[in-house]
Structure 1
Amino acid sequence: MLKILTFLSCFLCMINNFCLASNLEHDGWANIKLEHSLVALENPIFTERGNISIQSLRLGQAIVKQNPLTEEEKIHLRDLATKNQFYQIRSTVVASDGSESKFLSTVKACMLAEAELDDRLLVSLDYTGRVIGVTLIIASRSTCEGAFVPLSKLKEFTTSVYVRHSDVGPTPNTQSYIDKLEREKEARERGEVKDNRSILAKYWMYIVPVVILLMVSSMANPEAAAGNGGGAGR
């Protein structure tokens, strides 16, 4: 048992070190194509918003290029805000290994309009550096205030990109448990540990099989049990 726990502790340490190394040493790039939906439809239609090029996932270095909104798009966005609808963004991520993945994110259109198109994109990575999520955030607003936003304020997006690495969880302290077992074993061998349990708690593993055997035997020979009962009556 102690050998198994020791091996498990070493194995968990190796996994933890591997994860840390992956986070610290792995680097790559990713291109993100941004599309948004400016009309409230059951099946939204996405149009191009811009592109983000993350040159270093480890350092979070990104270049953001986005299209200014046309007059028609400004009106659509303000209509979404007035009707308390959601603004949707779709991100298509192409990684350095050629893999492609898509992510959807939504915010209240009124929050985006009242923030005058100042938003944040949170790019989440797993421990290998693979993009596992792209989330749109309005940092300057937690709710809509109902303010009127002129179309002149809805011209261009000012977007900041943040790359978030996964945190490695703590390694279980298996060694302390192993040490405790060893101390208890040594104490039992020296006779320092007294067993204050009841007889039933000590020997239940012997008592239970006997009880089960008697029950099975009684159920298998009901006539013999009845005959014994009749004989006692005479």
Structure 2
Amino acid sequence: MKLLGYFFITSAFLCNAYAGGSDKLESDFFDGPEVNIQISHAFGKEESSETFRPRGTVDIRSFKGPKFTAEQPDLSLQDLDLLKEVASEDGYYFVKFSTKGPSGVKSFRTFIPAKALLDSGLSDVLMVHLNPASDIYAISYSVARNDYFTAPHVLGNNRPPPTHFNTTVIVHYGEIGPVPDTAPYLEKLEQERISKERGDDTRDNRSFLAKYWMYILPVVILVLLSGASNPEEGGGR
């Protein structure tokens, strides 16, 4: 599939669950219907559907020079403490994306080490893959950095842990590739079939000798000449 372009959106998810923000994509390629992504997450050693809680939403809107809207509450102190605890135990951060498109409702799940998310300062990357019908066929997730606590800061080691997500959204919007031209091939097969039915098959059906006699004949002559010279040599002895 040929990609028309990459659309990069960078935004800090907002602290208020009911307040939204929007940024403009630096491209005019995207012109599909609005795409809504519901995000849920969980922390722990193992994935369990009962532990998933809403994290927020991302709306990719169908404007020329499209926009997105993201709504996300801050992590609660309870969730932040849980993330720290899971990270210290080498646990995982599980994330689930639910979306409804032309082909129906889809769900995508993945996970990363909880420590990687914590070390990134909750800076993550959401990569959305759309087909020409603006239907999501894949979503990938990763962290954007891993030096939140080690990078220089005015507060030094007392830098507070992050409580809101700083997310980069990348949209891959593809188009249908060229369709193979099978008409000439099918026409050739049909012509061969008709020729065979008429008995005027142009394929070479001659026997092996009929095809390669000009190569076999010189070899036979050489063998005969060699055999004819041997009796004379024997008689000379």
With the length of structure 1 as denominator, give the TM-score of the two structures.
0.55
Q: What secondary structure does 2:115 align onto?
A: helix
Aligned residue for 1:139?
144
Separation in structure 2 between the aligned mates of residue 99 and residue 71 of structure 1, nearest angstrom = 36
- Post-superposition offset of 1:134: 2.0
For structure 1, list consecutive stretches of 5 or more residues without a partner in the other structure.
1-15, 17-23, 178-194, 204-234
Shift of 1:127: 3.1
Identity of aligned residues (%): 25
Contact persistence 1:57–1:129 (CA under 8 A) = no
- Does 1:112 find its partner at 2:117? yes
What is the one-letter code of the residue matched to 2:94?
Answer: Q
Kept after mapping to 2: 8 A contact 1:55/1:62: yes
Q: Is the 8 A contact 1:54 1:62 kept in 2?
A: yes
Picking from 17, 23, 38, the partner of 1:33 is 38
Task: Indicate the residue corresponding to 2:99 in structure 1.
Answer: 93
Moved runs in structure 1, 4+ residues, more than 3 A? 57-60, 144-147, 166-175, 200-203
Change (3 A) 1:200 1:78: farther
Residues 1-234 of structure 1 aligned to structure 2 (within 5 Å): 27-43=32-48, 45-56=51-62, 61-95=67-101, 97=102, 99-141=104-146, 152-166=160-174, 168-169=176-177, 199=208
Offset from partner CA, 1:32-71 (integer Å, 9 cap, x none): 1111002334525101111111112885631111110111
Superposed CA offset, 1:113-140 (max 9, x none): 1010011111111232211122211122
Residues 89 and 202 of structure 1, relative CA distance in 2, 3 Å threshold? farther
Which amino acid in the other structure matches residue 124 of structure 1? H
Separation in structure 1 between the aligned mates of residue 84 and residue 210 of structure 2, nearest angstrom: 73
RMSD over aligned CA atoms reads: 4.2
SS at match of 1:166: strand
1:45 to 1:173, Cα distance in 2 relative to 1, 3 A: same
**Secondary structure, aligned partner of 1:153:** coil
Q: Which residue of 2 aligns with 1:185?
A: none
Greater CA deviation, 29-38 or 121-130?
Answer: 121-130
Aligned partners of 2:70, 2:92: CA distance in 1, in Å?
A: 23
How far apart in 2 are the matches of 1:72 and 1:25?
Answer: 39
Amino acid paired to 1:153: P
Contact 2:96 2:108 in 1 (8 A): yes
Residues 199-218 of structure 1, C-alpha deviations (whole Å, 9 max, x = no match): 27959xxxxxxxxxxxxxxx
Per-residue deviation, 1:168? 4.7
Query: Secondary structure of the residue that 1:74 maps to in structure 2?
Result: helix
Could you give the per-residue CA deviations for residues 162-202 of structure 1, whole angstroms, max 9, x where no partner exists?
11123655666889x9xxxxxxxxxxxxxxxxx9x992795
Say which structure is richer in strand: 2
Aligned residues: 166
